[in-house]
């Protein structure tokens, strides 16, 4: 701990010297002399007078030493396909894609909206944008037409890249009809659409607008498209936060700061070495996919796995066979995925040789102790939680395994990472909270470190008002999460500040109650929401997924488990925290990235419109809530 404490303190006390050293992890056309410009707070410009290119650092600079090393390992359990793309092959494919983009007039600063499943062409398209200075806007494949249309209008792309279809759980999801519907609704549809035909679903092409990728790739087979050197502050991409309603909120990321932050994180946090194989089981539609499927592993000279499919398709051993087959060294997924696997026969895990695996990282939602203990014991490797956001692009709280792998603590994502001035603040007064164990809003003093959002796309005022004016009386970045800190400096995340229950004047964090409920041996998952009550203001209602294949069928058993859950909550948190009802459901409403849709559950319970559910994993999940 002492080693990391000194490392962390230096990042705060000597930020220019610290980040100047980290900047040496990437290549620059013009190395920066000014490290951070904070002349216009809360905006921060990192490496402002430097110039670089993300694609050069992710691909071109590795060709001399690792041209034949796998760069991308694409595995689809949906279509039973696999493709390994070396760094040399990746270079050729990206230049072909970049040439196609240029054919359509795409240049520096233009937006390209990418609406693709988890296929290699998605990586080619993102890197091609980075190569020529275009700004990519990836929208999760399968988004509904209305939600896609709002993102088209906000980004106003010059080109859209899409496909005939994706596949999930063996079910083909046609993309082209969804895209056509979005283009019909959009006020600013682009003139051109580039389509990858996977042969999964028929698609009609609009003459003059829709173009076949395979045909154009053949025309540019020998393309030579050099990297465009860009100011470090040039936007690299816009990524819309999940579950937004009304006007989309596009997180805008820079180029140089992002490259430096990711390169540093691969060394200091993930303890990765060039030549390692990294398997991040997320999706390119989310920030985890941007950072740790694509850019960070390639910046560090790793082989990165791109996986299309479910963790239990065709069976619950598919991920572990992938680890064995490709000798995966570092794996990164969500607690939800591990909880799903935990429900299945452990023989699936034990059947594979997992000796190559060094560490499992988990993020996206709070990690409960039973899940952490189960997977750590099963794999026999360290399990490292980490906490961050779309807005930050890389972890805020975790264990820096490459600096000093101090032990983790059950339920805690860890300690603040270098560059982040993390603190807890009283939500009413804005005063910093110093005493251990007292709950507050997790905030970060400016300037945010490299790699974090520059602003909200096209709306600087929204950036300031949303993120920097939420904590009373202070210009501090709000994560909108409750947290506590223990005497050793470890943080514990208690849930969103907008997930607070106010029961008879008592403010309760939904996550605190959920943590107690999921400790019951009959419970797999739980979601707690506050539902309006005439007498108490709100009462807590718990929706519980039982361990096993489906809902509890026996009413007596259901009642007994429900009473045991209520007694457990009352015993650990007090009677005021005890839910008014326990409702058993087979599945909880979540986004496709695994985050609970608590506000949607609450809205259904109160008879209100649940809002934009385009990011929802299972459309039937809310129906179970309604029935309950």
Within 13 Å, how many C-alpha atoms sit on residue 200's CB side?
Answer: 20
How many angstroms separate the CA atoms of 542 and 583, rounded? Answer: 6
Domain covering 2-309+386-480 assigned CATH 3.40.50.12780 in the classification: yes
Using the CB atoms, write b or e for 230-249: b if 16+ within 10 Å.
bbbbbbbbbbbbbbbeeebb
Instruction: Tell me the β-bridge partners of 544.
Output: 526, 584
Q: How far apart are CA 401 and CA 155, in angstroms?
A: 38
Helix (H, G, I), strand (E, B) or coil at 626: helix
Q: Give bridge partners of residue 266 from the DSSP assignment.
A: none
Calculate what percentage of the chain has a pLDDT beyond 90: 74
**pLDDT per position as a tens digit, 589-614:** 887 667 788 878 888 888 887 766 66
Query: What's the pLDDT score for residue 335?
Result: 87
Mean pLDDT of 439-453: 97
Q: Judge whether 297 and 69 are in contact, CB under 8 Å.
A: no
3-state secondary structure 26-39: CCCCECCCCCEECC
Q: Which of 185, 114, 188 is nearest to 146 (CA)?
A: 185
- Report the mean per-residue pLDDT for the chain: 92
Task: Assess whether pLDDT exceeds 80 at residue 426.
Answer: yes
Q: Please name the residue that has the structure tokens 């109160």.
A: 606
Task: Count how many residues are written for the chain.
Answer: 628
Q: How far apart are CA 13 and CA 5, in angstroms?
A: 12
Q: Count other C-beta atoms under 10 Å from residue 16's C-beta.
A: 10
pLDDT at 606: 86
Q: What is the per-residue pLDDT for 494?
A: 85
User: Cα separation of 447 and 468, whole Å?
Assistant: 11
Q: Where are the beta strands (DSSP E) in 139-180?
A: 159-163, 165-168, 171-174
Question: Domain 504-627 adopts which CATH fold?
Answer: GMP Synthetase; Chain A, domain 3 (3.30.300)
Report how far apart, in Å, the C-alpha atoms of 166 and of each of 78, 196, 199, 292 are.
Answer: 9, 11, 10, 21
Domain boundary assignment for the chain: 2-309+386-480, 504-627
216-230 pLDDT, tens digit each: 999 999 999 999 999
Residue 244 predicted with pLDDT over 60: no
pLDDT digits (tens, 9 = 90+) for 471-504: 999 999 999 999 999 999 999 998 777 666 767 6
Residue 456: which pLDDT band, with cuts at 50, 70 and 90? Answer: very high
CB half-sphere exposure, 470, CA atoms < 13 A: 20
CA dist., res. 120 & res. 99, Å (int): 17
User: 70: phi > 0 → left, psi -120 to 50 → alpha, else beta; which?
Assistant: beta
């Amino acid at each position: 701990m002492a080693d990391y404490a000194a490392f962390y303190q230096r990042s705060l006390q000597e930020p220019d010297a610290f980040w100047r050293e980290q900047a040496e992890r990437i290549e620059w056309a013009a190395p920066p002399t000014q490290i951070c410009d904070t002349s216009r707070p809360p905006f921060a410009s990192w490496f402002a007078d430097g110039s670089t290119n993300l694609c050069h650092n992710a691909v071109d600079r590795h060709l001399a030493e690792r041209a034949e090393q796998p760069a991308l390992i694409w595995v689809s359990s949906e279509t039973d396909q696999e493709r390994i793309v070396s760094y040399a092959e990746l270079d050729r494919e990206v230049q072909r894609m970049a040439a196609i983009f240029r054919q359509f007039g795409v240049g520096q600063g233009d937006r390209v909206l990418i609406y693709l499943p988890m296929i290699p062409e998605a990586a080619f398209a993102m890197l091609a944008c980075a190569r020529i200075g275009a700004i990519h806007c990836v929208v999760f494949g399968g988004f509904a037409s209305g939600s896609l249309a709002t993102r088209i209008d906000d980004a106003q792309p010059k080109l859209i890249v899409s496909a005939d279809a994706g596949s999930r759980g063996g079910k083909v999801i046609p993309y082209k009809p969804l895209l056509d519907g979005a283009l019909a609704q959009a006020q600013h549809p682009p003139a051109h659409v580039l389509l990858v035909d996977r042969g999964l679903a028929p698609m009609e092409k609009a003459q003059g607008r829709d173009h076949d990728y395979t045909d154009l790739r053949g025309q540019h087979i020998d393309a030579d498209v050099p990297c465009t050197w860009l100011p470090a502050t040039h936007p690299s991409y816009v990524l819309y936060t999940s579950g937004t309603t009304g006007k989309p909120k596009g997180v805008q990321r820079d180029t140089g700061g992002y490259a430096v932050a990711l390169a540093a994180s691969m060394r200091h946090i993930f303890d990765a070495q060039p030549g390692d194989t990294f398997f991040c089981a997320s999706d390119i539609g989310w920030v985890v996919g941007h950072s740790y499927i694509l850019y960070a592993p390639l910046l560090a000279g790793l082989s990165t796995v791109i996986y299309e499919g479910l963790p239990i398709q065709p069976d619950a051993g598919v991920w572990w066979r992938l680890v064995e087959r490709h000798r995966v060294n570092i794996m990164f997924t969500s607690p939800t995925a591990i909880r799903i696997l935990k429900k299945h026969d452990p023989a699936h895990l034990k059947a594979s040789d997992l000796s190559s695996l060094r560490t499992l990282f988990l993020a996206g939602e709070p990690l409960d102790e039973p899940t952490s203990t189960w997977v750590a014991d099963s794999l026999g490797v360290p399990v490292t939680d980490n906490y961050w956001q779309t807005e930050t692009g890389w972890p805020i709280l975790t264990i820096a395994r490459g600096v000093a792998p101090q032990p983790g603590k059950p339920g805690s994502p860890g300690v603040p990472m270098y560059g982040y001035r993390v603190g807890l603040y009283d939500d009413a007064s804005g005063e910093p909270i110093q005493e251990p164990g007292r709950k507050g809003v997790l905030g970060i003093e400016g300037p945010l470190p490299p790699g974090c959002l520059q602003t909200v796309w096209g709306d600087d005022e929204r950036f300031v008002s949303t993120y920097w004016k939420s904590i009373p009386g202070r210009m501090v970045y709000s994560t909108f999460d409750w947290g506590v800190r223990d005497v050793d400096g470890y943080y514990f995340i208690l849930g969103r500040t907008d997930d607070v229950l106010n029961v008879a004047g008592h403010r309760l964090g939904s996550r605190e109650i959920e943590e107690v409920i999921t400790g019951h041996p009959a419970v797999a998952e739980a979601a707690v929401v506050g539902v309006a009550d005439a007498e108490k203001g709100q009462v807590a209602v718990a929706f519980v997924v039982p361990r096993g294949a489906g809902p509890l069928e026996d009413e007596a058993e259901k009642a007994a488990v429900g009473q045991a859950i209520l007694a457990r909550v009352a015993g650990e948190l007090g009677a005021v925290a005890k839910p008014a009802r326990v409702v058993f459901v087979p599945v909880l409403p979540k986004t496709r990235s695994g985050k609970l849709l608590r506000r949607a559950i609450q809205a259904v319970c109160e008879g209100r419109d649940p809002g934009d559910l385009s990011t929802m994993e299972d459309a039937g999940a809310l129906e179970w809530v309604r029935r309950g």
